[in-house]
């Protein structure tokens, strides 16, 4: 880490909007806080992070996730630093939390700093990983973090769980789920299906209590895309930081994700590169 240099004659420049990602580190760079920062930057927003856990995919176990939580005090300290270094945090994305202790410290920070926009990507269970205390963690997320969200971006499994439904297999059910989640106190809901409902498109449902919009873009393949959900929530966060309405933010976010899909490596699914998006 290099020392700060005092440059007294630097030109005065406009400060860009600032977004904070409270999320896990995903070592490959294809998801998590790394993807959040890249998405923020691509959309003209200054990004900062508070890491909640360290995640790495295990090539010897079907690319399941290896998960190491960050100490709650360290999470607190990171959020404190971000909230006080910058004159204002315009929007916050909350991603992977993973433990009840992490949820408690993030809940306390959201109460303390009262950030104007909070986007919750409600990771109930990290893909490929079953935690022994999963129910405790899921319940804590629903009771403590979800009510603080300005907007939430659940996938099909998360939408069904948050809405109290067994499963979602149709657009009508996804609309119903979005309404139920809104009724739990979340002002704006972007319930994601992607290509999973067989419509031939990447389809999500936006609901804010009045406006119900089915948002569709051409599907890019039919398989799981690593980091697509993180990118979508980060793009929503960046657009809200810039002053977009929740619906406008959702529309732009879907365009960002669609443009970003197509990276390929040794993992058996594609991942995202936000540099391909040109807004």
In a domain, 2, yes or no: no
Condensed to tens digits (0 to 9), the pLDDT of residues 143-196 reads: 999 999 999 999 999 999 999 999 999 999 999 999 999 999 999 999 999 999
In a domain, 185, yes or no: yes
* 157 Ramachandran zone, left/alpha/beta (phi>0; psi -120 to 50): alpha
Mean pLDDT of 17-31: 96
In a domain, 13, yes or no: no
In a domain, 10, yes or no: no
Give me the pLDDT at residue 279, please: 83
- Cα–Cα distance measured from residue 154 to residue 191, given in angstroms and rounded to the nearest whole number: 5
Give me the pLDDT at residue 11, please: 76
In a domain, 188, yes or no: yes
Give me the pLDDT at residue 139, please: 87
Per residue, the 3-state secondary structure of 167-220, as one string, reads: CCCCHHHHHHHHHHHHHCCCCEEEEEEECCCCCCEEEEEEECCCCEEEEEEECC
Give me the pLDDT at residue 32, please: 96
In a domain, 119, yes or no: yes
- Cα–Cα distance measured from residue 262 to residue 260, given in angstroms and rounded to the nearest whole number: 7
Per residue, the 3-state secondary structure of the chain, as one string, reads: CCCCCCCCCCCCCCCCCEEEEEEEEECCCCCHHHHHHHHHHHCCCEEEEEEEEEEEEECCCCCEEEEEECCHHHHHHHHHHHHHHCCCCCEEEECCCCCHHHHHHHHHHHHHHCCCCEEECCCCCCCCCCCCCHHHHHHHHHHHHHHHCCEECCCHHHHHHHHCCCCCCCHHHHHHHHHHHHHCCCCEEEEEEECCCCCCEEEEEEECCCCEEEEEEECCCCCCEECHHHHHHHHHHHHHHCCCCHHHHHHHHHHHHHHHEEECCCCCCEEECHHHCCC
Task: State both tokens at 39.
Answer: 């998405």
Share of the chain above pLDDT 90, in %: 81
Condensed to tens digits (0 to 9), the pLDDT of residues 201-247 reads: 999 999 999 999 999 998 887 777 899 999 999 999 999 999 999 99
Residue 152 sits in a domain of what CATH number? 3.40.1190.20
Least confident of 21-35, 98-112, 257-271: 257-271
Beta-carbon contacts of residue 130 (< 8 Å; ≥ 6 apart) = none
For residue 251, pLDDT over 80 is answered with yes
185 burial (CB, 10 Å; 0-12 / 13-18 / 19+) is exposed
Give me the pLDDT at residue 126, please: 40
- Cα–Cα distance measured from residue 49 to residue 51, given in angstroms and rounded to the nearest whole number: 6
Give, in order, the Cα–Cα distances in Å from 100 to each of 26, 52, 180, 198, 264: 20, 12, 24, 36, 34
In a domain, 9, yes or no: no
Domain that holds residue 42: 18-276
For residue 128, pLDDT over 60 is answered with no
- Average pLDDT, rounded, for the chain: 92
Query: Number of folded domains in the chain?
Result: 1
For residue 129, pLDDT over 50 is answered with no
For residue 102, pLDDT over 80 is answered with yes
In a domain, 43, yes or no: yes
Residue 123: pLDDT band (50, 70, 90) is confident
Residue 30: pLDDT band (50, 70, 90) is very high
Least confident of 65-79, 128-142, 200-214: 128-142
Mean pLDDT of 250-275: 94
Give me the pLDDT at residue 187, please: 98
């Amino acid at each position: 880490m290099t020392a700060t240099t005092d440059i007294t004659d630097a030109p005065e420049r406009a400060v860009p909007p600032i977004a904070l990602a409270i999320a896990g580190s995903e070592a490959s760079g294809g998801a998590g806080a790394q993807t959040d920062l890249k998405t923020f930057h691509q959309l003209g927003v200054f990004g900062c992070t508070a890491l909640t856990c360290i995640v790495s995919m295990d090539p010897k176990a079907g690319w399941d996730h290896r998960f190491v939580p960050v100490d709650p005090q360290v999470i607190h300290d990171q959020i404190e630093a971000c909230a006080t270094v910058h004159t204002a945090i315009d929007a916050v994305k909350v991603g992977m939390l993973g433990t009840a202790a992490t949820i408690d410290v993030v809940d306390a920070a959201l109460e303390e700093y009262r950030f104007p926009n909070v986007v919750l990507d409600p990771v109930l269970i990290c893909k490929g990983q079953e935690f022994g205390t999963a129910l405790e963690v899921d319940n804590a997320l629903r009771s403590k973090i979800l009510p603080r969200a300005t907007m939430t971006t659940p996938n099909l499994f998360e939408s069904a769980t948050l809405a109290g439904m067994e499963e979602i297999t149709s657009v009508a059910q996804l609309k119903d789920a979005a309404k139920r989640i809104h009724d739990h106190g979340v002002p704006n809901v972007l319930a994601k299906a992607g290509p999973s409902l067989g419509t031939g498109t990447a389809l999500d449902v936006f609901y804010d209590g009045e406006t119900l919009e089915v948002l569709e873009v051409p599907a890019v393949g039919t398989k799981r895309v690593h980091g697509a959900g993180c990118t979508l929530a980060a793009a929503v966060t960046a657009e809200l930081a810039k002053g977009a309405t929740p619906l406008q933010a959702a529309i732009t976010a879907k365009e960002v994700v669609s443009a970003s899909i197509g990276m390929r490596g040794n993992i058996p699914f594609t991942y995202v590169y936000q540099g391909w998006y040109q807004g």
